[in-house]
Each structure stands twice: as structure tokens, then as C-alpha cells.
Chains A and B, each alone.
Chain A
Amino acid sequence: MNTTSPPTPSDLRARLQAKGLRLTTGLSLLIAFVAMCIVFSILSPYFLTIDNFVNIARTMPIVGIVAIGETLVLIGGGVDLSVGSVAALSGVVTGLLSEKAGMPIGVAASVGLLSGALVGLVNGILVTRLHINALITTLATFSIVRGLAFVLTNAQMNQLTDPRFLWLGRGEIVGIPVPFILMILLYVVFHLVLRHTPFGRDLYAIGGNPVASRLAGIPAQKYLLAVFVLCGLMAALGGLVQSSQLAAGTPQLATGLEFTVIAAVVLGGTSLAGGKGTMMGTLIGVFILRTLDNGLILVGLSSYWQQVARGAMLILAVGFDVLRAKLAARKAR
């Protein structure tokens, strides 16, 4: 007979504290975001305008969409450095197939997406089957895929002119940019997957304790393979959105994107060690970084200081959260 004992008061307290900690982590980020917005609105009269919000909404999705996949991989205990290269590859493949080979744009874009999923599959196989470290694997594919993008195009740009494709990056629905709506929808879907499906729960377990999760019978290799494929797919989708905005598939696209994405994901509370993170945290991290860049340009700060500010913001936000968590843990003892 299964006699599951009811939770004790200390269990409940621990659970509430854990939930509270998660809430408080998100709250810290929100406070940081709001504070930043207040500062920029004081420093620049252009910050708090509809035009500017629409602009932020239009330009953040490439990082936002790619960060979804990166969050999944990091929670699972891995990392993917090839996302920027994959984003470029998808645009390049789509441009070549539609403009040079004359394929219908829907087919070309689908192949572009699949190219990203394929790279993710290769990453996943190398990590889970050959047990090559994810950092090394994706560092290698970062270089290989970027190189392939240059080889396929001979470093040239291919214009993308189909209005249906351009609508993906430039269209609006009731004044809201289409890429932003797409990004929010994806965040809702993956938030539900992480929080309310066995796959999501198991992913946290795999990232938090790979040995225990294997002993518990969780198919860790399969799930990790799946998240790498999803990461590749999200990177390709982000690349298509950006290519649509630029009306071009270019092999130089998204250079350095991987570092911006990882910064946003970590800022949002996802642990580089695995087992911890949320989609909503990542979304806030993306908002913070994009708004920071936007605000710094509006106040007219030199690009060198912008780089300094970005790094400082990352340390402040993460450091504040770490400090707060330590204080809370000490108090709980």
C-alpha cells in the first residue's frame, strides 16, 4: 500500500521559499528593467514614445527567438555557441534557393529552417553519442557553419524580395510588429512545455543532476538531442526573421549573436551549470539587453561606452541576484 505522507510544515515552507525565490529572481530583474527605463526616460525625451517601443519590439526578436533554444540547452546542462552561424546559414540557404534556384519562398524558407535543425542534430549527436563536450562541439560547428555560409555564397549577399517573406520581419498586426508577436507566442508555448510537461520537468533534472536522472530512468540522451535540434531550429527561425528585415541573406549575418544570446539567457536567471532557468526570466533578460542598447543610442553615448555599459549591466544584474539569494538562504537557515 502506498502511504505517501502529507507534506510537513517545513516541506511547505521550503517549497514556498523555493517558489518565492524564483518569483523574487524574476522580480529583481523586473525592478532592474523598470529602473533602467526610468533612467532613460529622464535622459532622453525619445525613449518613452510609441515609435521607440515599436522599434524595440521590431528589433529584439532575433535575440529573443534564438534565446529560447539556448535556454533549453543550458537548462539541460549543455551550451550552443553555433547559434549565430546557424542564423546566417538559414538566411543564406533561403536566399539561394528562392532567388537563384527559383524555388517558391515557402519551400525555400522551410529548407532554411531545416538546415538549422540539421546543424542542431549534428551538435546533439556529437554531444550525446560521441560524448564530445558541448562547448567544443558547438565551437567547432560555429566555425564550420559560418564557413559554409561563406562558401555557398562566395561572401556575397542574396537579395530576398518576396513580399510574403518580407512580411515575416517587417509586417505589423494592429500596429504590433509580426516578429514580436511570433516571439511572444513561442515564449508562451515553451514556458508551458517547461513548466507543465514531463519533458520540461525531466530537462531540469537532467541539467541539475545527470547521474541521478539517468538512474531514475530519464532518457537523458534523447532529451538532450531534442533540445539541440530545437535550439538549431530557433536559431534558424531568428535568422529568417532578421533576413526578412534586411531583405537579404548574407553570410555575415548575426556575427557575435551567440554571446548576446547567452548574456540575455544568463541575465534571465538560467544557470550555466544547468538545471535552473525559466522562459520568462530569459524574456526579461532579452528585454533588458535590447532596451539598454536602445537607450544608450538614444542618449548618444559612444559605442565604446555602450560596450562597457552592457558588461557592467550584466554583472550588476546577476551579481545583485546572487547576493540577494545568498542573503535569503542565510536567513532561511
Chain B
Amino acid sequence: MKHARMMRFVILLGAAVLLLVIAACAAPAAPAPTPEPQVVVQTVVVKETVEVPVEKTVVVKETVEVEKTVVVKETVEAACATKKDKYKIGFANLTEDIVFTQLVGQGIKDEAKKAGVDLVLADNKLDGATALANADNFILQGVDGVIEFQTDEKFGNVMMDKFRQEGIPVIAIDIPMPGATFFGADNYRAGSMAGEAAAKWVNANWDGKLDAVVSLDLPQSGPIPAARLQGQLEGLLNNVKTKPADDMIFHLDSKNTQDEAFRVVSDTLPKIPNARHVVGININEGTALGTIAAFEAAGRKEDIVVVAQGADPSGQDEMVKEGSRHLGSTGYFPEKYGTYLIPAMIDLLNCKSLPPSIYVDHVFISKDNLCKYYPEHASCK
């Protein structure tokens, strides 16, 4: 018994010592000091001819040599502290559980490989505290730059403070972080493109008549996703011929899932028993599919058309189906994020200046142009 206790103590002590050693060895090196611009003073000899007036009518010209000291300031370009031959970049993804972020992640991995960059990956699991822990981990691993995809504003400030102290440049995807270069969606514009497309369809197919709108929101995600829904709603209402009454616009909490969208839309249907022209606006493809399913299950498939954001594979599959009620989605092209992000991060690390925000070029994707932007889709072969 005594022997076992002693062994346990020794093992624990050994583990503690090992942890201390690892922590000490992994302590980040002090950042290199930033060189000051140098002032160079040079002595330059200047020859000047000066005319000296005399009293006699005979003009005598004298050449006087004057020595002047001229101070010339030259700014020598400071060496780029972060420039290296090979970079290590940290990428913390929003979550690995949804298609959109998976595509973002895969695109970044592919581009990093092409650019010869070492990529350190982390999953923020849609949680601010986890994102903060990942940020600490990046600093511990000595990354040169960070691409951050996280949603929590409060934790974002703390993370940026840490990165700033370490001199690590950051690019923030879709959710701004103070001091970071922003890359992502032009949320309101992306939304209004979908809303306008829906209005165009309603005007052409329902003679502009709109009885109700169901908006599948995500209130807990804050103002950024809300801008997409606001854009969709305003894009729709500002362009449709007949607007519905205010009490026929329903804001439902989708909780970002298809089955919750199905449930809340199903529960709303009894409130609009006579509505034959309903548009569903959606935060993403999952909720769009849930909305369509709810109307189908209630035997009211022809009463609904939906638009959404993202144009991910599940949305693409739905919009090309025969008789589909999915008009289309604003494309964010998450699979191409890497083609912007990795070069932008390398530019930052090479001390090239970047604009404060880089926006995605959005396109409204429907079955009419799907093959132009996604030629690999099964329906295009």
C-alpha cells in the first residue's frame, strides 16, 4: 500500500515536472524590435556665382565660392519584421459542423498547400471561450499570422489584444474584430440580392401579389446575420408590387437548424390558412429546406417560394429539382475564400498594405446560372 502510494506520488511529480519543462520550452520568443527610420546627414558643397556691386563704372565680376552645409534626410525603408521565407499561419474555423464552414476550411487548406505555408488548424466550435483558448494555442505555437472565424464580439476584443501584443497580424472572416483586416460578405447587399430576385419572381408569376412573408431568423447570432435578413426583407418589400400587411410578416427563430425551421413554420401555417402567395427568406440553406418541407407536409407546396443565403450543395440540389420552390440563393463562394485569404495574409506578413476590408463578390445563384458558377454540380454533366 505504502509502495503504491509512493509510486503514485513519484508519477504525479514527474508529470508536473514534464509539464513545466514543456511550458518553459514552448515560451514564445520575444518579438524582434522594430527598427527606427534612419536620418542620414551629408555635407554637400554648393558653388554659387554672386554679383557684387561697385562704385566705379567699371564692372568687375568676382566669383565667390560659398560652402553650404545641406542636411539631406533620407528615410531608409525599415526591414519588415514579419517577413520570412516560410510562414506558419493559424486558421481557427467557426465550426466544422456545417457545410459552409467546411468549404471555407478546405479552400484555405488547399491554398495554403499551394503557397507552401504551414497551416495550424483549430475549431472554434461556435463558442467564444473556445476561440480564446485556440488563440492562446496559436500564440504558444508561434504562428506568424492568424485567420480568425468566430462570432463572439466580447471574446474578439480580448483575442485581438493578445495578438496585437505579440505582433501577430489577423484577418477576421465575416465577423469583424477591431484591428483585424476584415474579409467576408457584404451582408446587407448579399441579402438584398436575394430579396430582389424573390420580388422579381413574385411580380412575374404571382402578378406581384404577396400574402405573407416568413423570415427564418437567427436572433442570437447578432447584427451581422441580421443584416442579411434585413437585406432580403427590404429587397423583397421594396420591389414587389403588393406588399403584405405588417402582421403578415413573421419573424421566426430558426435556431439555425432544418428541423427547428420545419417546426416553427409548421406552427405558423395555421395563422395564414388563406395565404396562397408566401415568400420564405432564410439565413441559410438548411432553414430554407425546412421551410419548404413544412409547406409540403401541410399539403401547401404551391403556396411558398423561398430564397436563401449561401448556395451550398444542399441548396444547389434543391433548386435544380423538378418543380422546386427554391428560387435561388446569394452565393458566398466559401470554397474560394482561401484564394483571397492566404495571399492576403502573405501580403500582410510581407508588410504590404491591405485595405481594411475585402469583400466577396456576391452572385445570386439559381438553376439558370448554377452551371456557370458550379460546373461540377451533377446536374451540369
Distance, CA A170 to CA B50, complexed state (A): 104
Contacts of B271 in A (CB 8 A): 44, 46, 298
Contacts of A52 in B (CB 8 A): 270
Q: Looking at the complex, which one of A59, A252, A297, A306 makes contact with B258 (CB distance below 8 Å)?
A: A252
Does chain A have a CB within 8 A of B183? no
Tally of A-B residue pairs with Cβ under 8 A?
95
Does chain A have a CB within 8 A of B303? no
Does chain A have a CB within 8 A of B99? yes
Establish whether residues A246 and B97, one from each chain, have CB atoms under 8 Å apart when the complex forms.
no
Contacts of B331 in A (CB 8 A): none
Distance, CA A250 to CA B287, complexed state (A): 12
Establish whether residues B99 and A156, one from each chain, have CB atoms under 8 Å apart when the complex forms.
yes
Contacts of B318 in A (CB 8 A): 159
Contacts of A51 in B (CB 8 A): 269-270, 273
Does chain A have a CB within 8 A of B335? no
The smallest C-beta distance from B246 to any residue of chain A, in angstroms, reads: 12
Establish whether residues B289 and A157, one from each chain, have CB atoms under 8 Å apart when the complex forms.
yes
Contact A246/B270 with A155-B98, A252-B97 known, Cβ cut-off 8 Å: no
Contacts of B263 in A (CB 8 A): 59, 293
Distance, CA A156 to CA B106, complexed state (A): 14
Establish whether residues B102 and A154, one from each chain, have CB atoms under 8 Å apart when the complex forms.
yes
Does chain B have a CB within 8 A of A247? yes
Q: Looking at the complex, which one of A47, A155, A156, A248 makes contact with B289 (CB distance below 8 Å)?
A: A248
Q: Looking at the complex, which one of A44, A55, A157, A247 makes contact with B298 (CB distance below 8 Å)?
A: A55
Establish whether residues B264 and A297, one from each chain, have CB atoms under 8 Å apart when the complex forms.
yes
- Please tell me the size bucket of the interface on B: 20 to 34
The smallest C-beta distance from B334 to any residue of chain A, in angstroms, reads: 13
Most chain B beta-carbon contacts within 10 A, residue among A251, A252, A253, A254: A252
Distance, CA A248 to CA B269, complexed state (A): 21
Q: Looking at the complex, which one of A44, A55, A253 makes contact with B259 (CB distance below 8 Å)?
A: A253
For window 19-61 of A, CB contacts with B under 8 Å fall at 44, 46-47, 49, 51-52, 55, 58-59
Establish whether residues B96 and A155, one from each chain, have CB atoms under 8 Å apart when the complex forms.
yes
Establish whether residues A250 and B286, one from each chain, have CB atoms under 8 Å apart when the complex forms.
yes
Does chain A have a CB within 8 A of B234? no
Does chain B have a CB within 8 A of A138? no
Q: Looking at the complex, which one of A159, A255, A306 makes contact with B257 (CB distance below 8 Å)?
A: A255
Distance, CA A293 to CA B258, complexed state (A): 17
For window 98-118 of A, CB contacts with B under 8 Å fall at none
Establish whether residues A157 and B96, one from each chain, have CB atoms under 8 Å apart when the complex forms.
no
Most chain B beta-carbon contacts within 10 A, residue among A52, A246, A302: A246
Contacts of A150 in B (CB 8 A): 96-97
Distance, CA A52 to CA B266, complexed state (A): 9
Distance, CA A252 to CA B257, complexed state (A): 7
- Chain B 277-298: CB-based contact to A (< 8 A → 1; otherwise 0): 0000000001001100100111
Does chain A have a CB within 8 A of B332? no
- Chain B 250-270: CB-based contact to A (< 8 A → 1; otherwise 0): 001101011100111011111
Does chain B have a CB within 8 A of A169? yes
Establish whether residues B102 and A246, one from each chain, have CB atoms under 8 Å apart when the complex forms.
no
Establish whether residues B314 and A254, one from each chain, have CB atoms under 8 Å apart when the complex forms.
no
For window 289-331 of B, CB contacts with A under 8 Å fall at 289-290, 293, 296-298, 313-314, 317-318
Q: Looking at the complex, which one of A58, A253, A254 makes contact with B266 (CB distance below 8 Å)?
A: A58
Does chain A have a CB within 8 A of B31? no
Known: A47-B270, A51-B273. 4 other contacts (CB 8 A): A51-B270, A58-B298, A250-B286, A254-B259
Give the interface of A toward B (CB within 8 A).
44, 46-47, 49, 51-52, 55, 58-59, 150, 154-157, 159, 169-170, 242, 245-248, 250-255, 293-294, 297-298, 302-304, 306
Q: List 30 A-B contacts (CB under 8 A).
A: A46-B270, A51-B269, A52-B270, A55-B267, A58-B266, A59-B263, A59-B266, A150-B97, A154-B102, A155-B96, A155-B98, A159-B314, A170-B296, A245-B297, A246-B259, A246-B262, A247-B289, A247-B293, A247-B296, A248-B258, A248-B289, A248-B293, A252-B258, A252-B286, A253-B257, A254-B259, A255-B257, A298-B270, A303-B219, A303-B255
Question: What 7 pairs between A and B have smallest CB-CB spacing?
Answer: A303-B253, A52-B270, A297-B267, A51-B270, A157-B314, A46-B270, A170-B297
